[in-house]
Amino acid sequence: MKILIETRGRWLAWLAVLLVISVALPACSGSTTGSGSGDAPIPAKYQAFAQSFDRERQQLGVPGASVALIENGKLTFAHGFGVKGLNSQEPVDSSTLFRIGSMTKALTATALLSLVQSGVIGIDATLTSIVPDVAINGAGNLSTLTIRQLLSHQSGLYDYLQEAGPTDDAALSRYLTSPDFAANEYFMDPPGTFYNYSNPNYYLAGLALERAGGVPYRQAVTERVLSPLGMTRTFFLPMEVIADGNFSNGKSTGSDGSPWDVSPDSYDNAWARPCGFAFSSVVDYAKFIQFLYAGNASVLADSERTEMQSPQVKMLDAGGVEADLQSYGFGLVIRREFLVGNNAYTTKLVWHNGSLPGFTSIFYLVPSTGFGIVWFANADDVTFEASTALAFASFAGLTNPSAWPPPGLAVDSSIYSRYAGTYNDPNGLGAITVTANGTTLSIDIPTLDAANAPYDHALQATSMDNFNVTVQGAPTPLTFIADSTGAYVWLRTQQAVAKRVSNNAGTTP
């Protein structure tokens, strides 16, 4: 399965533009190892999946991981594998706590939508009507920024994040209204222009929840989401996790290149909590997935729950505007078609992932069948491709495969000349030149050249309108975005946005 990983909690590095579930698996042999101390023996129905999951864990070098399966809306299997950290021999079980990264966003969105449902705020209310003292430069853009745009990543805000910061609850309001936040945050493009994933959207959504709800962010999420759903093992404070005792340390790499055993209190940041700093177990988070599937009126009415899982904005990262395979809802990614092996299924897939140093997490939900899977791992940037594929093939209940690929997905080099031209990023990169030469598209960024920052000038196509530019050895997704007339006027990455220079007709040799 090619999936999407949020690298180090700062930006979603789209490792692939298609969700492709491959069912090619190595032969299963031997017994399942690494059983969690608190888990029951694995039923025969799940033995092949469990063996695949644990084998893949070992192949990936992951000390420990846990996974839960939901079938027809019911939790049917949950188990832990491996150990709780680099320096631990204690087994992981299905109740072990892991950092869940940006899967926190769905919890924040749910809590804020409960205020929308009750009429306390409107989904299209401006942020400044709720938080008039928020500190972001650009008064014109700030005055139009809405709650809907924050929850669906349409703010245009730069993706600024610090993993370590103040830890008191009051810091959420104190920092986001301070000159320090204003000095680091700005609009890359006007709100509502297009989707661009940015963690500050959820800091601000959390602050809006706090201000409108009248209680601190953590309390609001607990009262409005966690408690009604019986999620008793989802926490925000490292001290709570340590006091609980059944937690995992993460496997990461320190700034000096040495192994880093990431404990719960290795980092925390109160003003970033709404975007991705929660801890949970797979069994506890499965309760939230079950809520997304079946609902719970004490949390959200079905109308609000459905709206949360409905496309709010095209992400344009999987085949351009024609294919439109992926959209963002409120704290959730919605995909309308995906592959399992050689079979395509035109049915909704709801998902989100998360990553912070030492941890990777993801969940998928197929609303049409009630199938869900969630797994947490205590290592950086890993994907359980084979075992997730096996889970979909074995338990998802998918039928009636459709044709693939959908229109507008394939790369079309004949339109490269329409991408070519000079773009400008006024917030740092300055002029960017894109040149088309037959089936080759290249990029020149003089600011990076002057800084001796290495990058590959040749863009690598991934799907219609989408490319990778490799900067300092890391592939960075880049999308060309057209205006309403079909003219390409924007060049988008998660960390920088550039607009075509007026009257520039393109550059070709």
Residue range 422-431: mean pLDDT, rounded: 95
Which tokens in the block code for residue 283?
């069994």
Could you tell me how many residues make up the chain? 509
Give the pLDDT score at 504: 56
Place of tokens 């919605």: 334
| Nearest CA-CA partner of 108 in 27, 205, 180 | 205
Split at pLDDT 50, 70, 90, the class of 460 is: very high
260/266 Cα distance (integer angstroms): 10
Give the pLDDT score at 396: 97
Residue range 36-40: mean pLDDT, rounded: 75
Q: How far is CA 381 from the centre of its chain?
A: 12
* Residue 213 identity: G
Residues 488, 481 contacting (CB under 8 angstroms) = yes
Judged on CB neighbours under 10 Å (0-12, 13-18, 19+), 431 is: middle
Which residue did the predictor score with more confidence, 355 or 16? 355
Give the pLDDT score at 33: 38
**Sheet with 466-471, side-by-side order of all strands:** 440-444, 430-437, 421-425, 497-500, 488-492, 474-482, 466-471, 460-463
Element spanning 21, H or E: strand 20-21
Place of tokens 């773009």: 423
Residues 220, 226 contacting (CB under 8 angstroms) = no
At residue 229, does pLDDT exceed 70? yes
At residue 6, does pLDDT exceed 50? no
Q: What are phi and psi of 399, to 5 degrees?
A: -135, 170
Give the pLDDT score at 32: 37
Give the pLDDT score at 393: 93
Quick check: pTM over 0.85? yes
Task: Determine how β-strand 359-366 pairs with β-strand 371-377.
Answer: antiparallel
How far from each other are the two terminal CA atoms of the chain, in whole angstroms? Answer: 39
Q: What are phi and psi of 327, to 5 degrees?
A: -135, 165
Rg of the chain over all Cα atoms, to the nearest angstrom: 22
| Nearest CA-CA partner of 334 in 496, 195, 482 | 195
DSSP 3-state of 81? strand
Give the pLDDT score at 244: 97
Residue range 449-454: mean pLDDT, rounded: 94
pLDDT > 70: percent of the chain: 91
Q: What are phi and psi of 208, to 5 degrees?
A: -60, -40
77/455 Cα distance (integer angstroms): 45
Q: How far is CA 470 from the centre of its chain?
A: 21
What is the DSSP code string of 381-413? Answer: S---HHHHHHHHHHHS---S-B-SSPTT-S--G
Q: How far is CA 504 from the centre of its chain?
A: 35
At residue 461, does pLDDT exceed 50? yes
Q: What is the pLDDT of residues 370-408, one digit of tens each?
A: 999 999 999 999 999 999 999 999 999 999 998 888 877
To the nearest whole number, what is the mean pLDDT of the chain? 90
Q: Where are the beta strands (DSSP E) in 187-325?
A: 250-253, 259-262, 279-280, 313-314
Give the pLDDT score at 58: 97
Other Cβ atoms less than 10 A from the Cβ of 470: the count is 15
Split at pLDDT 50, 70, 90, the class of 27 is: very low
Which tokens in the block code for residue 464?
């219609």
Q: What are phi and psi of 353, to 5 degrees?
A: -130, 180
| Nearest CA-CA partner of 215 in 203, 206, 226, 202 | 206
Q: What is the pLDDT of residues 478-489, one digit of tens each?
A: 999 999 999 999
Q: Over 480-508, what HEC string results?
A: EEECCCCCEEEEECCCCEEEECCCCCCCC
- 307 CB-near residues (< 8 Å, 6+ apart): 113, 329, 330
Give the pLDDT score at 503: 56
**Sheet with 349-356, side-by-side order of all strands:** 74-82, 64-71, 371-377, 359-366, 349-356, 333-335, 326-328, 313-314
Q: What is the pLDDT of residues 338-376, one digit of tens each?
A: 888 778 899 999 999 999 999 999 999 999 999 999 999
Which tokens in the block code for residue 250?
């993460």
Other Cβ atoms less than 10 A from the Cβ of 408: the count is 16
295/301 Cα distance (integer angstroms): 8
Other Cβ atoms less than 10 A from the Cβ of 359: the count is 26
Give the pLDDT score at 377: 98
Split at pLDDT 50, 70, 90, the class of 37 is: low
What burial letters (b/e) apply to 364-374, b meaning 16+ CB within 10 Å?
bbbbebbbbbb
Lowest-pLDDT choice from 74-88, 207-221, 248-262, 403-417:
403-417
Give the pLDDT score at 310: 97
In the chain, the domains with their CATH numbers are 5-102+233-395 (3.40.710.10), 106-221 (3.40.710.10), 413-500 (2.40.128.50)
Q: What is the Cβ-side half-sphere exposure of residue 71, based on CA atoms within 13 angstroms?
A: 13
Give the pLDDT score at 159: 96
pLDDT > 90: percent of the chain: 83
Judged on CB neighbours under 10 Å (0-12, 13-18, 19+), 426 is: exposed
Split at pLDDT 50, 70, 90, the class of 19 is: very low
Give the pLDDT score at 332: 98
Residues 184, 241 contacting (CB under 8 angstroms) = no
Split at pLDDT 50, 70, 90, the class of 126 is: very high
Q: How far is CA 217 from the centre of its chain?
A: 20
Q: What is the pLDDT of residues 265-288, one digit of tens each?
A: 999 999 999 999 999 999 999 999
